[in-house]
Structure 1
Amino acid sequence: MSWRGHLRLDYRLENQRTTALDRHEGPLRVLQRLYPEGDAICHHVLVHPPGGIVGGDELLIEATLDAGTHALITTPGATRFYRSAGPLATQTLRARVAAGARLEWLPLETIAYSGCLAANALHFDLAPGAQMIGWDLLALGLPAADLAFERGELQQTLSIGGRWLERGRISADDRVLLDSPLGWAGQRALATLWCASGNGFSDALREQLLEDARTCIAGLPLAAQAGASAADEGVVVLRALAPRTEALFTLARAVRAAWRQRLWALAECPPRLWAL
């Protein structure tokens, strides 16, 4: 049986506190709403009780952030696209961030199991004055369990309205993409991390954000497989490849902490569940 899930998150500022109204249909829930940094920043933990997404499932998350709000959204575990008998499994995020609002989209990794037929789409609309930090950590198969990504495909879409649009199709039988030094170079985990501004960054700030990312990269063993660039005057992107996601998560956390300090003068304050 296919599942259809829809979760809507509406963030509002009330007496300097970011509050959230959540409405759901089907298997998507808010596990917790936490305020470890005080009332201004709402940490949200999203859960998908079935534990994985199979062929025919359709999950939609919609987030709207009013002016002045700050939301950090994460998950307690990996998003898993399981083997499909034919139908496509889809997960879509649509986020609208108003002027002066801040969004941190920081879910744990996505795992594409061998045999999956999946589409994962992330769409962000940033008003002038809005900013965000986000990441996408992707693993093909389960290398630690010696379960390779041998069949199936994953379609990936990342977009920030008017500034960045990226679409890709990762097929298990595309050896050029997966094994060529111009593609995944034999690695099976990819991190894409970005920070973005609705009205662009100044030249000086953009260079500082790039330097922050490159400094974090330089001290790690995967430095030869990572790099940062400015996709647009308002988007800075880091990418890194590795055999597994653990090293990518370490890098992503370090860069996110540096960017958070640079953009907002805020300490890292990682969600507590990341330590579990």
Structure 2
Amino acid sequence: MYGSNLSWPASLSCEFHKTSAGGTALAEVQHSGPLRVQKLFHDRDLAHCYVLHPPGGMVSGDDLHCRFHVHPDARILVTTPAAGKLYRSRSNESLQIAATTVQVDDGGICAYLPQDTIVFNGSNGKLETNVSLSSSASYFGWEHTIFGRSAGALPFVSGQLSQCLTISRDHKLLYRDRLQIDAEVLNSGSGLCGMTSLASCILILPAEAQGSDELVETCRLSLKGFEGISGVTAIRDGLISIRLLSSLSEDTRTALERLWSAVGEFLMARKVETPRIWRT
């Protein structure tokens, strides 16, 4: 609950195990504060986990920590039922922090696909994701950030957002991506060029995986028709980075769904379903 510093910390820890029937179960969950999970939904051997944050947004001093452990050969998609929100910070400029830790063991597959985060004018956010993979694990994750609210003529003209993604494999650093965005960077020609919808995606395949070159082309084809700026880059074998930049958040959402269909089919060796919560 709120203390003297008006913060509202919360934490969530989930353990996903492969079942004897070949599916995935939520074997253990611990939580404190306003973070919960619903029961799992299932797309055959791929389970869908919905993370709920009932307040719906974060104010100054809020501190959310989520941890997801995907045990050997378990397969999980983690998402949220609605957009997250970072509201205007108080005058003391205290941070709004959301930190996520993902561990994927051998043979495990994790898709971490939260819905978008809306960064309101004057917010002071810090988003951190740390992913630890075993050698034969696979991971696909994204962060879709929207700056300001165009529908209400509420542009992002002050505040800042720090985003950091760190990925390691077998305890060795594999990839790190850090973004520091304020109104100046948002509108700079060397920044986001005034476009307010930014999605950063990363795909990590096992080192011995075959077909990563073909997957790069498949990802590019899935983004055909996206009217913003997009790029799909194979940084090294089994590591693919994807960026989307647009002035229309709905276009970015649609492109991300198509991207998940393409990547999911590769990871699962079959067509995958879109989480039902994305349609509500």
The answer, yes or no, to whether TM exceeds 0.5 is yes
Q: What is aligned with 1:214?
A: 220
**Which whole-Å deviations, capped at 9, do the CAs of 1:156-190 have from their partners, x for residues lacking one?**
00121122101111112x2xx22233321110110
Match of 2:102 among 74, 77, 95: 95
Q: For 2:160, give the aligned amino acid.
A: E
- The one-character-per-residue Cα deviations of 1:83-122 (angstroms, maximum 9, x if unpaired) are 1112111000000000000001111001111111110011
Distance in structure 2 (CA, Å) of the matches to 1:146 and 1:55: 23
- Structure 1 length-normalised TM: 0.92
**CA root-mean-square deviation:** 1.4
| 1:196 corresponds to | 204
- Provide the residue aligned with 2:13 in structure 1: 8
CA distance in structure 2 between the aligned counterparts of 1:201 and 1:154, rounded to whole angstroms: 35
Out of 263, 272, 279, which is 1:275 matched to?
Answer: 279
Counterpart-to-counterpart distance in 2, 1:11 and 1:267: 22
Deviation, 1:155, is 0.4
State the Cα deviation string for residues 41-73 of structure 1 (Å, max 9, x = none): 221111111111111111000011110100111
Q: In structure 2, which of residues 161, 186, 191 is the aligned counterpart of residue 178 of structure 1?
A: 186
Aligned equivalent of 1:166, options 177, 184, 187: 177
TM-score when normalising by structure 2: 0.91
Residues 227 and 246, structure 2, Cα contact 8 Å, conserved in 1: no
Structure 1 spans left out of the alignment, 5+ residues: none
Percent identity between the two aligned chains = 28
Q: How many residues align?
A: 267
Which residue matches 1:157? 164
How many angstroms apart in 2 are the aligned matches of 1:31 and 1:14? 19
Q: Could you tell me which of 228, 233, 247 is aligned with 1:229? A: 233
Q: Which amino acid aligns with 2:189?
A: P
Mapped partners of 1:179, 1:226: distance in 2: 18
- Relative to structure 2, which stretch is displaced further, 82-91 or 258-267? 258-267
CA–CA distance in structure 2, aligned partners of residues 239 and 200 of structure 1: 25
The partner residue of 1:25 within 25, 32, 39 is 32
**Displacement of 1:144:** 1.7
The separation in 2 between residues aligned to 1:198 and 1:153, in whole angstroms, is: 35
Query: For residues 134 and 210 of structure 1, what CA distance do their matches in structure 2 show?
Result: 15
Q: Take 2:144 and 2:154, find their aligned partners in 1: how far apart are those partners?
A: 18
The whole-number CA distance in structure 1 between the counterparts of 2:24 and 2:62 is: 31
Q: Distance in 1 between matches of 2:167 and 2:113?
A: 16
What is the CA distance between 1:137 and its match in structure 2? Answer: 0.5
Unaligned runs of at least 5 residues, structure 2: 1-5
